[in-house]
Amino acid sequence: MRRIHHRTCHICEANCGILVETEDRAVLSIKGDPDNPLSRGHICPKATALQDLQEDPDRLRRPVKRVGETWHEISWQQAFAEIGQRTRAILAEDPDASAVYIGNPNAHSYGNALNAEYLSKALHTRNKFSASTVDQMPHQVANLRLFGHASLFGIPDIDRTQTLIILGGNPMASNGSIWTVPDFRNRARELRQRGGTLIVVDPRRTETARVADRHLFIRPATDAFFLVALLKAVLARRPARPVQDFITGLADVAAALERFDAAACGAACGVAAEDIDGLAERMTQGPAVLYGRMGVATQAHGTLNAWLIGLINIAAGQLDREGGIVFPLPALDTLAILPPGSIGKHRSRVSGHRSVLGELPAAAMAEEIETPGPGRLRALFVVAGNPVLSTPNGARLDKALSELDLMVSIDMYRNATSRRAHYILPPVGPLERDHYGLFLLPMAVRTIAAYSPPTLAPEDGTLQDWEILRGLAGAITGEPVQAPTPRETLDALLRSGPYAVSLADVEAAPSGLDFGPPAEGRLPERLRTPHKTVACADPECLEALAALEVPETSAGHDGALLLIGRRHLRTNNSWLANSRRMTKGPNRCTLMIHPDDATARGIADGETATVRSRAGSIALPAEVTEDIMPGTVSIPHGWGHGLPGIAMQTAKAHAGVSVNDLTDETAIDPLSGNAALSGVRVEVSAFEEATA
């Protein structure tokens, strides 16, 4: 029987509405839902990967256990019993010997989000790691400092602004990031049609830069100097929209900026002073908004960058204003269920990294496993994560994982990380689960509530991801988890939300309930700071600003190049590597290098180049292009599927290399614990077989 199912694509942050046509269990087509008020019929190629993942013969359907290098399918009962027994034995010897790593896909699973804590509590562990510290933690720390809650995200009001400035972000490839903005291309076109302007500042002429009105190159990892100069220029102007009276401390920030010479800052970042002044003029005249993302976060000054971006929007009079930074009021308000966040409640055992929002830096996992002594990590639970490919110096972590006494992966695949596990526990397929955008709809450019029931009935003998988490927790403690189902919890949270809708109300609107665009004037009510103010002069950020020294010469003068990452519309970290639709076409795992830098090293387009850093060495094809600025090279993340033991046929056929075999696990933003993946110094040379 043929049916059309309304669903939300849950692969990336865009949360596009889709229509899935099925006949019995066969998927016939996946198309955009024209009635979805957020995505408006748009989908990107990733949506079709849902079918590939669902039908993939490589996807695990039953628990598997590794004995030596051989894998055996086992029952759920055996898996839970053995894992529980082995975990209890380890914790009896050392109660601090366990850890949990939460991967990126958990942000797209409301069931996991509502149940992951059961596993951490069963382990009694403070050793929590996640993909957040290779991604977005600086933004969350800046939210905490400015607005009093790590999850209070302001987003660019792209649908009503006149100037959108993007620094280190690429929404044409990402569909937005910590900003749910599907159909970006058409939204950018609509911006231009109403006389607006899109400007991109990036070391690479990205896919977003190609549709922009203007692109400015900036040297990698120098964003702090650019932002200091821009903030000084903004503060020197009178904004057309006055700064609100609940904002304090801007005068103190201005005083702290006096020691910086704007011209020197511009020279350090490679952006001309007249361009910075022009941006400041646009920001203060508005409506305008400055948005920064991955490129600004994955630096040694990631939190300082995020804080400065916030201050620029504030000082320009664009905070909580239509066309500027707006604060959605979602149907399910995550501020009501998530703690504000804390910093420094405990520290890591080896290097003393402080906890941030309850997490330790993912970059520190390897040393916590390798280093002997009480509290050495011996048992690791990885929930939908692939840190061997996504965290810095993945080769070191890969070796460390082989030293664990117990590793359990909740995963659909035997990938670069789970191949090291002793047990892999696979959840149901992506179309066999329900979905609600718990964390992402609160950051959407239009406020909607959309629920997706399972498109396909789960196969017999399979478990939902949240059932696996509860099963593990019960196996470890000996006490089954007694709690409402995620669906029951979702209904209660919607009923208690600002629009008091039930899950039944949401289900009755299969394309989504529409509550309109985010309104201005949500502040100061939504602030979670004392006295409902935005305190701009955060002491720790001011201290970091005081320590910032403007270099006299640009990095790379000694012949080294600076490495940045990149992403593509057909990739999503490492998670779509086994999709035949996503991997077809030209090789996208290439070294982008400027013609001048390639010529100086005797490297021609298409030839293999060797890239070396302190952490390691890789070889890959060169893509000689003027889309990358001189002195900079770019390698995409999410590749490197050629390791022994990976059981993903399509991925292995398009293996590529992992950029995180080059990134440095010792380079960390001290304010957030985020890995500094951008601006890594590398040496590039023509490939020689003998030295490869």
Tens of pLDDT, residue by residue over 329-388, are 999 999 999 999 999 999 999 999 999 999 999 999 999 999 999 999 999 999 999 999
Exposure class string for 321-333: b at 16+ Cβ within 10 A, else e: bbbbbbbbbbbbb
Q: For the chain, which ranges sit under pLDDT 50?
A: 554-556, 690-692
- Give the separation between CA 514 and CA 607, rounded to whole angstroms: 51
Specify the pLDDT at position 139.
98
Q: Which residue from 375, 439, 405 is spatially nearest to 102, judged by alpha carbons?
A: 439
- Give the separation between CA 410 and CA 427, rounded to whole angstroms: 7
**Helix locations, 211-293, DSSP H:** 223-235, 250-257, 262-269, 273-285
- Sequence-distant (6+) residues with CB within 8 A of 83 are 406, 408, 423, 472, 475, 476
Q: Do 225 and 268 touch, CB atoms closer than 8 A?
A: yes
- Give the separation between CA 291 and CA 47, rounded to whole angstroms: 26
Q: Which residue from 478, 470, 403, 465 is spatially nearest to 120, judged by alpha carbons?
A: 470
Q: Do 464 and 428 touch, CB atoms closer than 8 A?
A: yes
**Burial category of 219 from C-beta neighbours within 10 Å (exposed 0-12, middle 13-18, buried 19 and up):** buried
pLDDT tens sequence across 623-674: 999 999 999 999 999 999 999 999 999 999 999 999 999 999 999 999 999 9
Specify the pLDDT at position 286.
85
Specify the pLDDT at position 342.
97
Neighbours of 244 (CB within 10 A): 16
Specify the pLDDT at position 689.
67
- On whether the pTM is more than 0.95, the answer is yes
- Sequence-distant (6+) residues with CB within 8 A of 324 are 156, 157, 161, 241, 286, 287, 288, 289, 313, 316, 317, 318, 520
Token code pair at residue 487: 């669906």
**Helix locations, 576-663, DSSP H:** 580-583, 595-600, 649-653
Specify the pLDDT at position 688.
80
Q: Do 396 and 615 touch, CB atoms closer than 8 A?
A: yes
Specify the pLDDT at position 47.
94
Q: Please report the DSSP string for 371-439 in residue order.
A: S-STT---EEEEES--HHHHSSSHHHHHHHHTT-SEEEEE-SS--TTGGG-SEEE----GGGS-EE-TT
**Which three-class secondary structure state does DSSP give residue 91?**
helix
- Give the separation between CA 201 and CA 142, rounded to whole angstroms: 21
Q: Do 220 and 562 touch, CB atoms closer than 8 A?
A: yes
Residues facing 564 on adjacent strands: 634
Neighbours of 632 (CB within 10 A): 22
For residue 368, the one-letter residue type is E
Specify the pLDDT at position 559.
75
- Give the separation between CA 501 and CA 21, rounded to whole angstroms: 28
Can you point out the beta strands (E) in 489-596? 513-514, 534-535, 561-564, 591-593
Q: Do 173 and 569 touch, CB atoms closer than 8 A?
A: yes
Q: Do 208 and 175 touch, CB atoms closer than 8 A?
A: no
Residue with token string 């992951």:
116
Specify the pLDDT at position 244.
98
Specify the pLDDT at position 555.
45
